[in-house]
Amino acid sequence: MTQADECHRGGANDEGNWRGILEYFAPAVQLGLTATPKRKDNVDTYKYFGEPVYIYSLKEGINDGFLTPFKVKRIQTTIDEYFYVSDDQIVEGEVEEGKIYREADFNKIIEIKAREAKRVKIILSEINQNEKTIIFCATQDHALAIRDLVNQYKKSNEPNYCVRVTANDGELGEQYLREFKNNDNVIPTILTTSQKLSTGVDARNIRNIVLMRPINSMIEFKQIIGRGTRLFDGKEFFTIYDFVNAYEHFKDPEWDGEPVEPELRLERPANLEEPPGESEQPNLPVEKKKKLKIKLSDGKERAIQHMMSTSFWSANGQPISAEEFMINLFGELPNFFKSEEELRIIWSNPTTRKVLLQKLSEGGYGKDELSILQELIDAEKSDIFDVLEYVSFAVSPITREIRVASAQTNIFNGLDNKQKEFLEFVLSKYIETGVEELDQEKLPSLLQLKYKSLTEAVDELGDVEKIQNTFIAFQKYLYQNQVA
């Protein structure tokens, strides 16, 4: 048997080297494999290999656990479209009078650096900057500009934190790509590209796909999504950051359907002359129109706003709830509390909270799974209580900082200044790290950190029993219903 991977490429090309190999081994069974559905550029594949004998869809791969599921963050800004006004500066080119410049125009016929800078800042603020990410850009020049902006605003000190990999980057780009695909390497962390990386990139630890250019075909959309679907240890899902409304492709029946039929491509007979006028046009020099470059007025640049919405999608392209997505990942959340109030009472006491967390862990929701849930619902700065409350009762999470600010008056009521000072310290650690700072086992280390010794802590706060009572009693106010 002869097996041809990526058979939509050389294997189907009449003049390709692979065709010669296939013809040499013609008596053998020939098996062609491709992840690229039928399309007009791929007719030769079907002409040579025939109709597929087996089809395995992206949906099936996700549902069967061979591919990674994803969530989508749709991002809109106040400058997704642009209409020229006189207080903006034309740096280069000419404005087309009355034109509204839309997504497809940007970075091809018009360039606004402040717009791209805003998008880069949004991405860097949203992603874990240590996670591998691919950013799809409108052109190779746009990919270069985004690379420079990422490196300008990144936290890392590495010069090659973000690199461009496009056709123009040649062997250097290929070297960057090899280093990126190596899961032992952390640099480069972010790649920018335009068309090159939509196929053929087997980098398993990609956690983020960023779309900064329109995706005009379902084929390309599936290919780009496929960059993130590779399995990797500890990678439960990946995130698509969508600036261009590409998520609408999920609504297309073709996302979950059979490949579309190829369009018939008619070839001109060799002896048929070309229509008059087609080959006889003189090669007149054409002046390339300068790209329009705009510098926004200072006030407008600083006023660019954005909004973001997170959605979860099933493998067949249907929007689903966070709870459904979670169940697909980890299974049903164990039912250890019947109401929001019961959860609140359990969580307000370190002893009963510890018992609940142990039961959740035994039911498949340990510390790692709960941390993943925090990330899934964008609640990394919230309490695990908020995660459980959101998943079980659809209550929107609040940050730990807001929770403390809302409860502080009740917490401090009736305490002396030294007790207030100690609890302010405890709450600052809670805001910084999370609910584990409120465990009873953490109390000795908190006292040591604050007072340098248990003896000094007792001198300040009273005996050990009083300190324990203070540490436990305030927590019921932290989780009272008024802060939700």
Tell if the pTM clears 0.85, that is, is over it: no
**Distance from C-alpha of 411 to C-alpha of 424, rounded to nearest angstrom:** 10
**363-373, pLDDT tens digit by residue?**
778 888 888 88
Most confident of 25-29, 80-84, 281-285, 372-376: 80-84
pLDDT for position 41: 53
Adjacency order of strands within the sheet including 292-295: 89-92, 292-295, 110-111
Most confident of 90-94, 116-120, 449-453: 116-120
**Distance from C-alpha of 10 to C-alpha of 307, rounded to nearest angstrom:** 45
pLDDT for position 280: 37
**143-154, pLDDT tens digit by residue?**
999 999 999 999
Once rounded to an integer, what is the mean pLDDT over residues 294-310? 76
Eight-class DSSP state of 159:
T
Backbone angles phi, psi at 24, to 5 degrees: -65, -40
DSSP E strand stretches across 144-251? 162-164, 190-193, 206-211, 238-242
**268-284, pLDDT tens digit by residue?**
333 434 344 333 344 44
For residue 150, which amino acid is it?
V
Decide if 74 contacts 247 (C-beta within 8 A): yes
**123-178, pLDDT tens digit by residue?**
999 899 999 999 999 999 999 999 999 999 999 999 999 999 988 888 898 899 88
Residue 2, strand partner residues: 30
In the three-class reduction of DSSP (H, G, I as helix; E, B as strand; rest coil), residue 147 is classed as helix
Decide if 115 contacts 302 (C-beta within 8 A): no
Domain range list for the chain: 2-55, 62-255+291-308, 321-393, 400-483
Kindly state the helix (H) or strand (E) to which residue 49 belongs, with its residue range: helix 43-49
Half-sphere exposure (Cβ direction) of 470: Cα atoms closer than 13 Å: 27
**185-211, pLDDT tens digit by residue?**
899 999 999 877 655 567 788 899 999
In the three-class reduction of DSSP (H, G, I as helix; E, B as strand; rest coil), residue 284 is classed as coil
Q: Is the preceding peptide bond at 188 cis, omega within 30 degrees of 0?
A: yes
pLDDT for position 78: 85
Once rounded to an integer, what is the mean pLDDT over residues 256-268? 42
The rounded radius of gyration (Å) of the Cα atoms in the chain is 29
pLDDT for position 329: 67
**Distance from C-alpha of 438 to C-alpha of 443, rounded to nearest angstrom:** 8
In the three-class reduction of DSSP (H, G, I as helix; E, B as strand; rest coil), residue 133 is classed as strand
Question: 229 vs 281, which has greater pLDDT?
Answer: 229
**Integer CA distances (angstroms), 450 to 421, 425, 427, 461, in order:** 10, 8, 12, 12
Kindly state the helix (H) or strand (E) to which residue 20 belongs, with its residue range: helix 17-24
Q: What is the DSSP string of 364-419?
A: T--HHHHHHHHHHTT-TTB-HHHHHHHHHH-PPP-BHHHHHHHHHHHHHTT--HHH
Q: What percent of the chain is predicted at pLDDT more than 90?
A: 30
- CATH (one of 1.10.10.60, 3.40.50.300, 1.10.10.10, 3.40.50.1110) for 62-255+291-308: 3.40.50.300
Decide if 292 contacts 92 (C-beta within 8 A): yes
